[in-house]
Structure 1
Amino acid sequence: MSQSPPRAAGAPPVVSGKDAGKIARAAFVGTALEWYDYYLFGTAAALVFNRLFFTDMNPTAALLASFATFGVGFAARPIGAMLFGYIGDRYGRRPALLTTIVMIGIATALIGMLPDYATIGLAAPILLAVLRLVQGLAVGGEWGGAVTMAVEHAPAEKRGRYAALVQVGSPVATLMASTAFTLVLLLPSETFDAWGWRIPFLLAIPMLLVALWIRLKVEESPIFKDLLAQEETVKVPAFEVFRHAGGRLLVAVLAALLGVGGFYMITTFAVSYGSNSLGVDRNVMVNATLIAAVAQIVVTILMGRLAEKIGPGKVTMWGGILSAILAFPIFAMIDTRSPLLITLAITLGIVLIAVAYAVNGALLTELFPPKLRYSGVALGYNIAGATSGFMPMVATAMLGVSGNHSWGAALILAIISLLTAVGGFVGERLRVQDKQLVAD
C-alpha cells in the first residue's frame, strides 16, 4: 500500500524542532520505563525467578519455565498492539499512550510485591505469569505509539533523529536496571533472595509518576488531528493493516526482529548462560551490560542522523549483515570466561544490534499511511517481539542439544540478523517507491 500524497487543504501543521524535541523526550520517557521493566524481568528470570518461583523443578527445567514466563509477555504483545492500535488510530495517540504507561508501571511494581513459591505455593508462578501478561499487553501498544507520536510531530527531514531519541530509552533503561541489580547483588545472598531483588521492581513506582506527569503535558499528534478533521479514521485499523498492507507488515516484522530478539540474546540469555553454564560471576555479566549500554546510546544517536542521509532501510540492512557475520565470534569470546573478553563481546553485540534498532522507528513509521500507522507499527514491532521473545528459552534448550556449547545461540542470532537485513533492504525500496509516487 502506498501512502497517499499530502493534501493541500487540511494538511498537518508544521511543528518546530523545539516542539518536536519535547514530544520525542516524552516518548523517550515511556520507552525507558518499558525497557526498564522488561530488562528487570529478563534479568530476574535468569537470576531469581528460576530459584524462588519454580523451586519444585530441577535447575534446567526451572530456568526454562522462568524464561517461558518471560516469553509470555512477548506472546501478549501482538494482542496489545491490536488493542492500543485501535485506540491510537481511532481515538488518538495520546489516550493510548497514557493507558499503556500506567499499566506497565503498576504491573512491574506488583511483581516486586509478589510472594514467592515458599510463601504461597503454586499461586506464585501463576500470578507472576499474569503480571507478565499485563506487561506484555501494555508494551504491545507503548513503543508503536511512542515512535508514531515522535515522528508525527517532527519535520520530515529530521524524523531519523527524533525517532532515534525514542530508542535511546532502551540503553538508558538498561543502565538503570543494571545499576539497580548490581547494587542489590552486593547484598548477602540470603538478603538478596528475601527482599533485595524486589527493590528494582518497586522503583517503577516513582518512575511511573514522573513519566505520567511528562506525558500529561503532551499534545495530540497534529497528523491525527488532521485525520479526525478529514474524517479519515478507520473502524478496525488492525484488520485494514492485514487486508491492505500485509506485505509491508511482513517487512516491518523482519526489520524489527534483531532489535528485539537480538537484544535479549545478548543480554537475558548471555547473562543466564555466563552465570549458570559457564560459572562466571553474576556481577561480571551484569556489569558488562552497563558498559554496553553507554556505547549503545552513542551509536543510537549517530545512526539516527545517518538514517536521515542514506535512509533507515540501508542502516537496518548493514546492521543485520554485520551482526550475522560476528554472531559466532561474539559467543566464542563469552566462552573464554574472561571478564575482559565477555565485556567486549556483550558491548560489541549490543552496538551491532543498536545499528538496526536505532532506526526501527524511522523505518516502520514510513511503511504505513497515517490512518493505519499506530496499528501497523505496533503490530510489526510486536509480532517480531512475540516471535523472538522466546529466543532465550530456545537458546537455553539448545544448550542441552549442543552439550552446553554456545554455537546454537550464535546460530539463532545469525539467522535473525540476516532476516532483519532482508527487511531493511526491502523496506528501503518501499520508502523510495513511496517518495517517487508522491513526487509524481
Structure 2
Amino acid sequence: MATLQHVSTAREARRAAFGSYLGATLEFYDFTLYATASALVFPAVFFTGVSPALGAVLSYVTLAIGYVARPAGAILFGHFGDRIGRKRMLVITIVVMGVASIGIGLIPPAASIGAAAPILLVVLRLVQGVAVGGEWAGASLMSIEHAQEKRRGLAGAVVQSGGPSGAVLATLVFALISLMPPEQLLSWGWRIPFLASILVVILAVLIRLTVTESPEFERAKEHLDIARIPIISAFAENWRSILLVILTALSPFFLQSLTATFGLGFAVAHGNSQADTLWMLTISNFLTIFATLAFAALSDRVGRTKVMIVGFILGAVLVWIAFALLTLPSLAAVLVAFVLLTPIGNAMVTGPLAAYMADLFPVHNRFTGVGISYQVAATLAAGFAPLVATGLVGAAGGATFLLTGLVSVLGLVGVVAVILSRTVRMAGKA
C-alpha cells in the first residue's frame, strides 16, 4: 500500500507528538511506580501475613496481571481506533489510565480491610491494563501519521521517549519519598506518586482535545478503506507482521522491565541503599530520553533495521557486564550497569521501534495490528520478567548466567525478526 500524502501542518504535527508524548509519559510513570512499589512497598502493605519472599512473588503477580489485560485493551481500542478514528480513543484511554492509578493510591492497606485490599489492587490493575493496551499504539500512530515521511522514526521516538521520561519522573518521586521514615512511607508516603497522576492526565486531555485526527486515517476513511472487523483483517492480511513485531519486541520489553524491577532489587540486595540506587536508575532513564531520540533520528537517515540490529547485538553482550556490576556494593558500578542496560543496550532498539511497527501494517488495521503485537510482546516479556528473573536466579543458586543467557537469546531472536521484516515492510527505509 502506498504511503499517503502528508497533509498535517508542522504545528499540528508538533501538537500531535506532544499529546502522544504525555500519554506515553503517564503510561510509563504508572508502570514504573507500580513496578517499584511491587518490589519495595506492596509486599508489606497488601500481602501481610506471608513470608517476605512469597509477598514479593504475589506482588509481582499483580504486576503481571496488568499486562495480561493489555491485549484485550489493544483489541477493544484498536477496533474503534481503526473504525472511527485515533483521537477519540486516546482521550478515553488517558482518562481511564489516570483514574485507575489514582484509585490504586487510595486503596486501604490489608491491615484495615483484609483480603479486599489485594482484590481491589488486582481489579484496578486490570482496568489500567485494558486502558494501556489501547494507549501506546494510538499515541504512536497519531504522532507518526501526522509526521513527514522522512521524520517518522523521530516522530515515533518522541512517544517512545515518554517511556524513560515517565520512568525518570516516577523514580525521582519515589527516590524522594524513600527518604521518609519507613513507617510513614508504608503508611501514606507511597500513595503520593499515584495520586499525582491527575496532573499529567489533565494536561494530556487538554492537549489531545485540540489535536486533529490522523490525516492518514482521514484519507483512508474518504477512500472507504476501513476494515469492518480490524482484528480479523489484521490476522488475515498481516499475520506475518504481527508475528515479527512480537518477536522483535520481546527483547527490549524484557530488558526494560528487568532493569526497572528485578535489577533494582538485585542491586539493593547486594549492598546498595534503596534511595541511592533509585537515583542511579533515574540518571540512567534521563539519559535514555535523549538516546532514544538520537537513535531514532539516526534510523531515519541510515535505516531502522540497521540501527535495531546493532542494538540487539549490543544488548545481548552488555547484559552480562551489567549484571556483574550490579553485584558490587558500589553506586558507580550500579550507574554504569543501568547505563549499559537502558540508554545503550535498549535505546537503539526502542528508538526506531514505533515507526518500524507502523511500517509493517496498512492504515485500515494499523491501530489493531500494532496494538495487539506490542501488547502481546509486553505481556509475555515485560509482564513476567520479574517472575522469570527470580526463578532463573533461584535455579542457578543466586548466579545470573541463566538470566543473562536468556536476554542474549532474546536479542538474537530480535535480530532474526528484524531481518525477516524486510520482506513484508509496508513503508519506510529498510
Structures share fold, TM-score greater than 0.5: yes
| Match in the other structure for 1:54 | 47
Q: Distance in 2 between matches of 1:49 and 1:75?
A: 19
The alpha-carbon distance between structure 1 residues 227 and 116, as it changes in their structure 2 partners (threshold 3 A), is: same
Q: 2:394 aligns with which of 397, 400, 421?
A: 400
| Match in the other structure for 1:390 | 384
| Match in the other structure for 1:307 | 299
Q: Distance in 1 between matches of 2:18 and 2:427?
A: 28
Amino acid at match of 2:93: T
Q: Please give the secondary structure, in 2, of the residue aligned with 1:405.
A: coil
Deviates more, 1:187-196 or 1:310-319: 310-319
How much does 1:341 deviate? 0.3
Q: Please give the secondary structure, in 1, of the residue aligned with 2:49.
A: coil
Amino acid at match of 2:36: T
| Match in the other structure for 2:312 | 320
Contact 1:395–1:412 (Cα < 8 Å) also in 2: no
Matched, 1:195 2:192: no
How much does 1:429 deviate? 4.4
How much does 1:13 deviate? 4.7
How much does 1:421 deviate? 2.1
How much does 1:259 deviate? 2.7
How much does 1:157 deviate? 1.1
Q: 2:2 aligns with which of 5, 11, 20?
A: 5
Amino acid at match of 1:354: A
The alpha-carbon distance between structure 1 residues 337 and 139, as it changes in their structure 2 partners (threshold 3 A), is: same
Contact 2:133–2:375 (Cα < 8 Å) also in 1: yes
How much does 1:286 deviate? 0.9
* 1:33-44 superposed matches below 5 A: 33-44=26-37
1:284-333 deviation line (CA, Å, top 9, x unaligned): 22111111012111211111111111221222221111100111111011
Q: Distance in 2 between matches of 1:316 and 1:62?
A: 38
Q: Distance in 2 between matches of 1:312 and 1:143?
A: 19
How much does 1:379 deviate? 1.0
How much does 1:195 deviate? 0.3
Q: Distance in 1 between matches of 2:84 and 2:52?
A: 47
TM-score, normalised by the number of residues in structure 1:
0.94
Matched, 1:225 2:222: no
How much does 1:162 deviate? 0.9
How much does 1:335 deviate? 0.9
Percent of pairs identical after alignment?
35
Matched, 1:20 2:17: no
1:402-426 deviation line (CA, Å, top 9, x unaligned): 2222223322322222222222222
How much does 1:35 deviate? 0.5
Q: Distance in 2 between matches of 1:408 and 1:16?
A: 50
| Match in the other structure for 1:103 | 96
Contact 2:6–2:148 (Cα < 8 Å) also in 1: no
| Match in the other structure for 1:283 | 275
Q: Distance in 1 between matches of 2:94 and 2:427?
A: 33
Q: Please give the secondary structure, in 1, of the residue aligned with 2:254.
A: helix
Deviates more, 1:250-259 or 1:35-44: 250-259
Q: Please give the secondary structure, in 1, of the residue aligned with 2:424.
A: helix
Matched, 1:92 2:85: yes
Q: Distance in 2 between matches of 1:301 and 1:362?
A: 12
Q: Distance in 2 between matches of 1:273 and 1:55?
A: 22
Q: Please give the secondary structure, in 2, of the residue aligned with 1:368.
A: coil
Q: 2:342 aligns with which of 347, 350, 360?
A: 350
TM-score, normalised by the number of residues in structure 2:
0.96
Unaligned runs of 5+ in 1: none
Q: Distance in 1 between matches of 2:24 and 2:422?
A: 25
- Length, aligned pairs only: 427
Matched, 1:419 2:416: no
Contact 1:187–1:196 (Cα < 8 Å) also in 2: yes
* 1:363-378 superposed matches below 5 A: 363-378=356-371
| Match in the other structure for 2:403 | 409
Runs of at least 4 residues off by over 4 Å: 433-436
1:107-163 deviation line (CA, Å, top 9, x unaligned): 001100111111111111111111111111111111101111111111111111111
How much does 1:398 deviate? 2.2
Q: Please give the secondary structure, in 1, of the residue aligned with 2:41.
A: helix
Q: Distance in 2 between matches of 1:132 and 1:199?
A: 18
How much does 1:230 deviate? 1.5
Amino acid at match of 1:216: L
How much does 1:279 deviate? 4.1
Contact 1:271–1:286 (Cα < 8 Å) also in 2: yes
Amino acid at match of 1:101: I
Q: Please give the secondary structure, in 1, of the residue aligned with 2:346.
A: helix
Q: What's the C-alpha RMSD, in Å, of the aligned pairs? A: 1.5
Q: Distance in 1 between matches of 2:140 and 2:301?
A: 19
Q: Distance in 1 between matches of 2:372 and 2:72?
A: 9
Amino acid at match of 1:308: D
